[in-house]
Amino acid sequence: MGNLLVVLIILGCAAYQYLRGTLVKSFATIINTICASVVAFGYFELLAKVLINREFLVPWAQPLCFVLLFVLAFAVLQTIAAQLLRRPVDFGPWPERIGRVVCGILLGLIISGLLLTALAMAPLSNKTPYRRFDAARPDAERPNKALFNADSFATGWFSIISSGSFSGKRSFATLHPNFLDQVFLNRHNIADDISIITGSEAIEVPRQKAAWPAPEGLRDSNGKPISPKSGHNLTIVRIGIKKKAVKDAGKFTFSQLRLVCKQKSDAKNPLAGKGRNIYPVGYLKAGNQLQIRQLNDRIEIERDDFEGNVKLIDFAFNVPKDFVPVLVEFKQNNIAQVPPPVTAEQAPPAMPLIQLSKCARDIAELQPISSAKVYGVELATGAEFLAGLKLEISDPNQWRNAQTDRSIKPAEFEDGGINYVRVELKTEKPAQEEAKEAAKASEPAQRSPQRRRFRVPKSRAQTPQRSRGIRGMLEPLDGYKLLSLKCNNPSTGIAIKGEQLPVLVELSGSVHRPVGVIASGKVGDQYVCEFDYCSLTAEDTTDGLVIAEDGSVAQPFPHTVWLTEQAQSIFEFYVLYLVQSGRGTIITSVQPADSQTGAGFKGYESFFIK
């Protein structure tokens, strides 16, 4: 479409000037077009700001103002030129004919370039007027070009003028280096819920300590070391998204954020001269962890992500070694100045970003770590707590009847809830399950049973006074939530200590240790369930649950898992955790005791506990 427009406009202008114009008038029209484009480029943002502040045609404000200013300026200049060129000037047949065509081609090239530029600024599809960047993996350094590079011709010379003798305090070449790439990337593959412009000022940059070198030992989300691009320094720049603009600014792509850099020798006046666009490569997910992103990846920030009026995010940019950052630009109408970078020793604490929209809240599968003895498979809370586990033990009487003489400590109840329990529960499988397993035994390559249904032996069961179920009987501490981590079935033959169970790692670095274990397996010819849980704080005893100052469990409970030593096989293995609620806890990984790397979540960045 873009190439077709260029051809049609050039042919139309050439034909019109040849048939209806003169050489002098054609040349004057070119000058008027150039002058009108100067007016359009120089003032379209100022006029668009008036419309945006009045919430009028916000997405279309800039392209409409650009076209309007060009048309008005061109009409005025053409009217003046017509008055000045009333008397005809003839240079002869051949100079006239050739000159008109040449002027018509040049005029068509300029007009088609301006038209393509205006269309690129509009909230249209990525294919209109042409696809400048690859849809799947856009590369800011490898743009496609229109026929004759018409739009670059129209914008490039204005950047040269604005950074030269006609430049003022604010150079277009600094504010909008590679303007075409900016506007095309700003709307690259945007969805209906992502705006290309904001209705109010959306970003800010701290006045001090807003840019600094990336810390040493920085790794990606997979634990691999990150090296800067050749000839560049990996630089962290802190950018704040304002809460009042979250409606327009809360969802954006990495291609809508850019860092304007200038040569160190020319950085004294950040708004003059000529700049260079640098696009982010990712953001800090932790103090020493960088989340790598592509230009077409998106970020979603919700109101729950804000602790104040501004959400600060540490973005990473590959800055050329002889350049320094001077400006940050966001979407199509937000610019903020960046203070001089500080040294690594002066760098402030990291501001990691976790997007709540990409956090699990009820249940999430984990990436496996096969090298660990016990590793997490699925983390759950709320209605999904202990998902898949079925224990038909509903009240204290049933618990007491199911306990054996070898129980470590009898269960303690309060108002029907379990406060403390370290017991061995003897169970029997229902006859229906026995029959199903006998039928499956004849079938080849059957999977090991992962879920069992436990019942109290009928000879010892009593009629329950009330039925609450296992989840209803587990009482957490006030202000805490219970989480269950379904784990792989560990090998048997040795008792697993509490220190060998996985821990939950919080965004802040805090570690949450287990408060219980539920394991089922076969011991001899009996099916047994071991149940260990504690919700009491007793700092003076070794049996109680000790809470640290940060609210986390200070030491794991239980001390050992007896069933893993006695059972021939393990059917189910759940680890329980207590995590404070009401403060927006974010679990970033689940780390096995015998692994240096934590397991992330499948399809989610983290696990959010409201």
What is the per-residue pLDDT across 120-138, written as a single tens digit (0 to 9) for each? 999 988 888 999 998 888 9
Is residue 456 in some structural domain?
A: yes
Instruction: Please tell me the predicted confidence (pLDDT) of residue 432.
Output: 44
Instruction: Indicate if 349 and 371 belong to the same structural domain.
Output: no
Q: What share of the chain is helix, strand, coil (3-state, %, to 5)?
A: 30, 30, 40
How many domains in the chain? 3
Is residue 531 in some structural domain?
A: yes
Place of tokens 């668009």: 48
Spell out the residues 6+ positions from residue 59 whose beta carbon is closer than 8 angstroms to its own: 122, 123, 195, 196, 197
Is residue 337 in some structural domain?
A: yes
Distance from C-alpha of 562 to C-alpha of 543, rounded to nearest angstrom: 16
Reported residue count of the chain is 610
Instruction: Indicate if 422 and 340 belong to the same structural domain.
Output: no
Instruction: Indicate if 235 and 122 belong to the same structural domain.
Output: no
Instruction: Indicate if 514 and 543 belong to the same structural domain.
Output: yes
Instruction: Please tell me the predicted confidence (pLDDT) of residue 598.
Output: 83
Residue 523's DSSP bridge partners are: 526
Is residue 180 in some structural domain?
A: no
CA quadruple 564, 567, 571, 574: dihedral, nearest 10: -30
Instruction: Indicate if 338 and 369 belong to the same structural domain.
Output: no
Is residue 417 in some structural domain?
A: yes
Q: Where are the beta strands (DSSP E) in 110-231?
A: 203-204, 211-213, 219-220
Instruction: Please tell me the predicted confidence (pLDDT) of residue 451.
Output: 40
Q: Is the peptide bond before 558 cis (omega within 30 degrees of 0)?
A: yes
Q: Which two tokens stand for residue 608?
A: 């959010």
Instruction: Indicate if 27 and 158 belong to the same structural domain.
Output: yes
- The enclosing H or E element of 237 equals strand 232-242
Is residue 123 in some structural domain?
A: yes
Tell me which residue range forms the domain holding 36. Answer: 2-173
Is residue 185 in some structural domain?
A: no
Final residue belonging to a domain, choices 143, 173, 203: 173
Distance from C-alpha of 306 to C-alpha of 55, rounded to nearest angstrom: 25
Instruction: Indicate if 39 and 89 belong to the same structural domain.
Output: yes
Q: Cα separations (Å) of 137 from 71, 140, 228, 295, 389? A: 37, 10, 20, 7, 44
CA quadruple 180, 176, 45, 131: dihedral, nearest 10: 20
Within the chain, which residues score under 50 in pLDDT?
A: 165, 430-432, 445-465
| Average pLDDT over all residues of the chain | 84
Instruction: Indicate if 466 and 531 belong to the same structural domain.
Output: yes
Strand, coil or helix: what is 77?
A: helix
Instruction: Indicate if 414 and 434 belong to the same structural domain.
Output: yes
Instruction: Indicate if 304 and 387 belong to the same structural domain.
Output: no
Spell out the residues 6+ positions from residue 38 whose beta carbon is closer than 8 angstroms to its own: 158, 161
Final residue belonging to a domain, choices 118, 139, 173: 173
Is residue 178 in some structural domain?
A: no
Instruction: Indicate if 421 and 488 belong to the same structural domain.
Output: yes
Q: Which residues of 547-564 are buried (b: 16+ CB within 10 A; e: fewer)?
A: beeebbbeebbbbbbbbb
Final residue belonging to a domain, choices 337, 353, 369: 353
Instruction: Indicate if 364 and 291 belong to the same structural domain.
Output: no
